[in-house]
Chain A
Amino acid sequence: NAGVTQTPKFQVLKTGQSMTLQCAQDMNHEYMSWYRQDPGMGLRLIHYSVGAGITDQGEVPNGYNVSRSTTEDFPLRLLSAAPSQTSVYFCASSREAGRGYTFGSGTRLTVV
């Protein structure tokens, strides 16, 4: 049981490039979310999903897309990277709505 797995752990992008942050969980959790963490800002919700095929926006969705084709996977796509997207990104999943989230180990993204 690996829990929540995020890849890559580190990434450097140039402004304007696109990429996908991967998130997978093997706990059969219905609920998954993406957060970004910036100094002094806490964890801010980007997008979330309540099950396969269902996604919704969080607090800071601009510049990001998500999809949920399977229960296990919830990738986050950066369409055209900007320096403001430099952050640490965490994926999380839970069995119940909003409760007991388990976090992945994070992806540290730098956009230059």
Chain B
Amino acid sequence: GENVEQHPSTLSVQEGDSAVIKCTYSDSASNYFPWYKQELGKRPQLIIDIRSNVGEKKDQRIAVTLNKTAKHFSLHITETQPEDSAVYFCAAVGGSNYKLTFGKGTLLTVNP
């Protein structure tokens, strides 16, 4: 089945800096890659996603890039703010089924 690796497990940045979280996947047929943000004690919430026919997608300060050849995708957050502090999860949907497989998460801390 699909395996999603996520790095780093923790990331600390200064307010205003950029943050990058990277993920790799194993199933070359995977075709959908969402990112979720989970604040402490809350439910995961979808923040951005990308499909396999697109290389990059942006939404204000958040962008996601996908390299299908290398089977990796990344989340980029620019001009970080303290409210960006949370755990971020990448995920992938396998090409042969409808299962959504998550990475183990990255704890992002934005220091004021």
Q: Chain A interface (Cβ within 8 Å of chain B)?
A: 31, 33, 35, 40-45, 48, 50, 56, 58-59, 90, 97-106
- A59 close to B43 (CB less than 8 A): no
Asked if B58 lies at the interface with its beta carbon under 8 angstroms from chain A, I say no
Q: Chain B interface (Cβ within 8 Å of chain A)?
A: 1, 6, 9, 32, 34, 42-46, 49, 89, 93-94, 97-105
Query: What's the nearest-Cβ distance from chain A to residue B63, in Å?
Result: 18
Contacts of A43 in B (CB 8 A): 44, 89, 102
Main secondary structure of the interface of A (DSSP, over half): strand
Q: Closest residue of chain B to A106, judged by CB?
A: B43
Contacts of A106 in B (CB 8 A): 43
- B44 close to A99 (CB less than 8 A): no
- B99 close to A103 (CB less than 8 A): no
Contacts of B101 in A (CB 8 A): 45, 59
Choose among A31, A42, A90, A100 the residue that contacts B43 (Cβ–Cβ < 8 A). A90
